[in-house]
Structure 1
């Protein structure tokens, strides 16, 4: 893994790849998808120890990680003020003096992710920045509200200015093997999004097996998902390396068969800079450099940015500061 802090640039998300048009549901392909759990777990277990970057290379990769963060607040006590502070952090994710010492400017997070009620304040706070607003939708996090209301919720968020919609699938369709129902649901959500890009949250911790994760990933891509995402962040088990390996290999297979690149978003439980480096190395090894851009890779995170900023300050000064010096607002 090599890069250069001087060459880090921000990229407007989802402007260089064609939308995923989807395809007809191919049940033979879906049912043929398998997952060798023991082999997947062995491969995932080797990742943290096999890839290590130090000094200026580590700083450069951490800056890359920042550009791929969906900076998120999804709390019941969210306020307009909190969202405005989060948006200010998205616009200036690292203190100016640290960026100046690194020779970097113009860096932002990949997006800001909020509930529908906070879409309009976030859009206003980010006006003119090119940073998109993502809205969680379709009865997030459980996805068990009436179907017509889930579809309508997407439309409301798009009308409010959301550029991206993070939808949740009905887990029961996966658990019962009703792939046609999952496909039809995802197609309806994709259509409701219009020009907004859609991320399909699989809630992998509730799908029962890695094989189900692989099959659900394929079905959602066939139905037109622009991204597939691990988790809502509300399950007991969120993003893991074995799940990520299964999902990104499904993405690779879909690209090989269709020529269409699908994005990937691990979410939930990724809070340390060292974890971000592991995920970036996994993407580089399994999918290649093209997926290391924010139009094809995102972290769903809130506290991750604070730890990255702390590590960058250590790189510049040689000393660690207290965590509270790198708050989100």
Structure 2
């Protein structure tokens, strides 16, 4: 039996809102499936082949590419560097950004207002964000030059100190990369945390001061708990940045991740294997591993840092 004609308009009226919303969601969902989900599926398919990316028919080799990863010393170096960045970059950046944000918004003479010129300092801190990553990498190549024209080694050599191989010494190069990444990222999170602090009622800081709270107590008992959701988001973003770092390493360092692979990361090895060695199957396997690392980190971070929301 067919649906009565009178029931169709009635059904349409009841679900009009749902149909209206769905009509706007169709196009973005289709685009997301085509340009996001589909490449992920294709990457996994390619990782099961020996495709070289140029010509020839890909041969199915199963999990051979994943087995090769366990015997690849360069891959493990890249994983180690990403893991170190995963811990150090969020911790260092968030600590520095929280310190400056608290100073600019609460650290004034009275303890409830920012220092003089805080608006100007926010602009200065944020300035590295307007520079492209490649520009930052080239800039710090000059800063770290190992001769007298280097911004750091020049004054050292003028004082008779032996120049430091910031990018040529395997023991220092990684820390130089970390320093540049913190320098570029910290300004954004200063502004982000400042926006969060601006939403906290000033009365809360004043009441705490009346009760005898010092600046350290203000930070740990009021500022940090009320900014926890923002800190949580910053941690996830910085963790994803630590796993996905590529341009800084590829442009700034010797041998695109050197010397002796002392600064290489997974993204650099994906690019190297795909576009220098033409091992697209192996590069796709690296990409799949990196994808699961990133998703796993995001889920784990959100779960471990979950806490009861504080209303004010």
Q: TM-score, normalised by structure 1?
A: 0.27
Q: Which has the higher helix share?
A: 2
Q: Higher Cα Rg: structure 1 or 2? A: 2
Q: Which gives a bigger RCO, structure 1 or 2 (Cα 8 Å, sep 6+)?
A: 2
Q: Which has the higher strand share?
A: 1
Q: TM-score, normalised by structure 2?
A: 0.28
